[in-house]
Amino acid sequence: MFGYILRRVAYAIPIALGVSIIVFSLVHLSPGDPINAVIAADAPAEVAQRLKEAYGFDKPLPVQYGKWLLRAITGDLGVSIATGRAVAGEITSAAANTIMLAFFAGMLGFSIGAVLGGIAGYNQGSWIDKVATTMAITGVSVPHYWLGLVLVIVFAVELNMLPAMGMGPGGSRDWAWDVAHMRHLVLPMVTLSVIPMGIVTRTIRATVAEVLSNEFVQALRAKGLLERQVLGHIVKNAGPTCLAVMGLQFGYLLGGSILVETVFSWPGTGFLLNDAIFRRDIPVLQGVILILAMFFVLLNLMVDIAQTAIDPRMRRA
């Protein structure tokens, strides 16, 4: 097992390096002189010159990449054009808010999806199966930024039951465990949970159906096991696949939250990113993407290892 973990980590390193290369190249994708992408347009010429040298923009690309990577590893992600503050600092607080939102949305979506998918897979072809599959396909087809808007219209505008925007009263940027903050959490959480709900429902339905179609389930029943005990075996066999899907979906939630955060003005990475796009603040854009992508790589790695720990058949490479 330890050797396997080592191999998986070794395999993740080139991926992480590849990701960093793509993120690095974002500066060069943006039109014009790269220096204009990382400093404010009205910055004095000597500041531009100093940064140009510090970033190595006069050097060949591999050298630039090396310098950038070294700085990024030590936590220096550059300076925001818009605010003049260090990018790393801005991201840390925003990332915490995003991860929290994604976590709650994930919990909601996974639990509904697991229950729906389990019931649907166990009772294939029944009306409840049809309801669950319809919900699932609706969940994956709905533009969640629009769903957020509709929820705001219904619950904030028409019914005036819940707040429409922000994370807490008065543009709070720090989470607190009080009723006001939780009321703010409801709508974005529900909005964001719809896609993982749909995908988890679909996957669990398919997995449970597949496990049920195996002969060993019939053998268990033939042995006289109670249906409850049979269910235990099904859960055990469907577990690893479900875990993998949930792990990946959690990663997608972090990316997907960008649009939802914009709708609800949730002070997370998505909101930060939206601001950065609006102001063409490339260092912030680059920093946010790098952090989220690295988090996703790490998550994939952990899912792989956890999956193998549960079920050795999953061992790859």
Partner 1 sequence: MNAMATGPAPLLAVTDLRKYFPITGGVLQRRVATVQAVDDISFTVGRGETLGIVGESGCGKSTTARLLVQLLKPDSGSIVFDGMLVGENGDISTRDLRRNVQMVFQDSYSSLNPRLPIEDTIAFGPSVHGVPVAQAKQRARDILAKVGLDPNQFIRRYPHELSGGQRQRINIARALALEPRLVVLDEPVSALDKSVEAQVLNLLVDLKSDLDLTYVFISHDLNVVQYLSDRVLVMYLGKAVEIGPVEAIYGRPQHPYTRALLSAMPSMDPDRRLEQAPITGDPPNPINPPSGCRFRTRCPHAEDVCARIEPRLAGAPEDGAHRIACHMLIAGSGHSAAPAQGA
Partner 2 sequence: MSNRVEVRPAPAMATGVDTAQVAALSRGYWSTVAGRLGTDYVTIACGLVLIAIVSAAIFADLIAPADPYKTSIVRRLKPIGFANHPLGTDELGRDMLTRLIYGGRLSLFMGVLPVVNALIVGGILGMIAGFLGGRVNMAIMRVMDVFYAFPSVLLAIAISGALGAGVTNAIVSLTVVFIPPITRVTESVTTQVRNLDYVEAARASGAGTQTILRVHVLSNVLGPIFIYSTSLISVSIILASGLSFLGLGTEPPEPEWGLMLNTLRQSIYINPWVAALPGAVIFATSLCFNLLSDGLRTAMDVRL
Binding site for partner 2 (CB under 8 A): 14-16, 18-19, 21-23, 26-27, 29-31, 37, 137-138, 140-143, 145-147, 149-150, 152-153, 157-158, 202-203, 205-207, 209-210, 213, 241, 251-252, 254-256, 258-259, 262-263, 273-274, 276-278, 280, 282, 285, 289, 292-293, 296-297, 300
Number of residues forming the site for partner 1 (CB under 8 A): 3
The one of partner 1, partner 2, none whose footprint includes residue 297, by CB under 5 to 8 A per kind, is: partner 2
Alpha helical stretches, state H, the chain: 2-29, 34-38, 45-55, 61-73, 87-122, 127-141, 144-151, 179-213, 215-222, 227-264, 269-279, 282-310
Minimum separation from the CB atom of position 13 to partner 1 (A): 11
The rounded distance, in Å, linking the Cα atoms of 308 and 246 is 15
Choose between 179 and 317: whose C-beta lies nearer to partner 1.
317
User: Which residue in 183, 143, 144 sits closest to 166, CA to CA?
Assistant: 183
10 contacts partner 1 (rule: CB under 8 A)? yes
The one of partner 2, partner 1, none whose footprint includes residue 10, by CB under 5 to 8 A per kind, is: partner 1
The one of partner 2, partner 1, none whose footprint includes residue 184, by CB under 5 to 8 A per kind, is: none
Give yes or no for a contact between 292 and 252, defined as CB atoms under 8 angstroms apart. no
Q: What is the DSSP letter of 155?
A: I
**Which residue type occupies 269?**
T
Q: How far is CA 308 from CA 70, 239, 284, 312, in A?
A: 33, 11, 36, 5
146 contacts partner 1 (rule: CB under 8 A)? no
Among 1, 6, 9, 11, binds partner 1 (CB under 8 A): 11
316 contacts partner 1 (rule: CB under 8 A)? no
Choose between 9 and 131: whose C-beta lies nearer to partner 1.
9
Q: Is 86 helix (H, G, I), strand (E, B) or coil?
A: strand
Give yes or no for a contact between 203 and 121, defined as CB atoms under 8 angstroms apart. no
